[in-house]
Amino acid sequence: MNMSVVRTTEDLRRTIALWRIEGAKIALVPTMGALHQGHLSLVDTALQRADRVIVSIFVNPRQLNDPADFAAYPRSENRDAQLLRDAGAHVAYCPPDDEIYPETFSTRISVAGVSDGLCGAHRPSHFDGVATVVTKLLLQTQADYAYFGEKDFQQLQVIRRLVTDLGISTRIMACPTVREADGLAMSSRNKRLSKEERATAPALSQILFQTARGLSAEADVAHTLERARKELKMSGFRKIEYLELCGEHDLRPLRDVSRPARLLAAVWLGDTRLIDNVQVLGRS
């Protein structure tokens, strides 16, 4: 089956209605494009479970609060469409801005609690933008499954919360973070790194993994996190937005590893913000 590029809700509905008549199970993979192996791993996993896979490509202005960030966000629709065709996706849904946000658009989905800390504390209204667009995409596609990466761990928990709260029947599926050979989490933003910054970037995941091991073994969480912050600084990350140990589901800060935990960080290299997170195993 050839992949089609769909731009309007009407065309999307028509395609989905035909699939429903066939009894097909439908998966959605929401993205902002500039696709890499991390995105494609979601598509591959979706294809294993669903009969039809829709990949949305929409650079969402409401989640990129800084207009300069929105303008600078990499866009490569033709290349993305070819990658999706090769991967076996069925529809690339690439709506223009006014298809998602017509002039009269007035609704905002806001998820309290899990959105508040970490990225939410540093990027006002970011998760409202994410929650609003993902809700719209889930309702437009009525997907049976939707696939998200653990790379954006807080986003994943925000979406899990909203589908539960709003009674949306789509099953939210999480996929592990795909990394470069040197450990750097793949991200569309990595393209913006200079050669020197790219050489520094893998230290983030190295320090996170090493700190996670330390937290599983040592008693003092505050001390271990402080040491990790120093190591990040020494490695060349001049600005550390946050480095926190949090409960895996509620993302509340933890003082010990007595329940499933995640170590999450956001740092800056020049003008580029990098985020990453790793699981922290409890002490046995």
Show which residues are catalytic. Answer: 39
Residue 46 to residue 220: CA distance in whole angstroms: 40
Closest to ligand AMP by CB, 42 vs 261, is 42
Sign of CA dihedral 139, 10, 26, 31: negative
DSSP 8-class letter at 34? S
From residue 140, how far is each of 16, 110, 137, 168 by CA, in Å?
Answer: 9, 19, 5, 12
- The residues pairing with 91 across neighbouring beta strands, listed in sequence order, are 4, 54
Residue 281 to residue 284: CA distance in whole angstroms: 9
- The residues pairing with 172 across neighbouring beta strands, listed in sequence order, are 146
* One-letter-per-residue 3-state SS of 71-114: HHCCCCHHHHHHHHHHHCCCEEECCCHHHHCCCCCCCCCCCCCC
Contact 72, 64 (CB under 8 A): no
Min dist CB 70 to ligand AMP, Å, is 13
From residue 249, how far is each of 25, 174, 180 by CA, in Å?
Answer: 28, 13, 26
* Chain residue at closest Cβ approach to ligand AMP: 149
Min dist CB 35 to ligand AMP, Å, is 8
Contact 204, 67 (CB under 8 A): no
Closest to ligand AMP by CB, 108 vs 191, is 191
Closest to ligand AMP by CB, 135 vs 224, is 135
Closest to ligand AMP by CB, 39 vs 126, is 39
**Burial per residue of 147-185, b for 16 or more beta-carbon CB atoms within 10 angstroms, e otherwise:** bbbbbbbbbbbbbbbbbeeeebebebbebebbbbeeebb
Q: Which two tokens stand for residue 138?
A: 């889930």
Min dist CB 278 to ligand AMP, Å, is 13
Site for ligand AMP, rule CB under 6 A: 31-32, 38-39, 41-42, 148-149, 151-152, 175, 177-178, 185-188
Closest to ligand AMP by CB, 178 vs 257, is 178
Closest to ligand AMP by CB, 15 vs 63, is 63
Min dist CB 73 to ligand AMP, Å, is 9
Min dist CB 29 to ligand AMP, Å, is 7
Min dist CB 36 to ligand AMP, Å, is 7
Q: Which two tokens stand for residue 81?
A: 């469409």
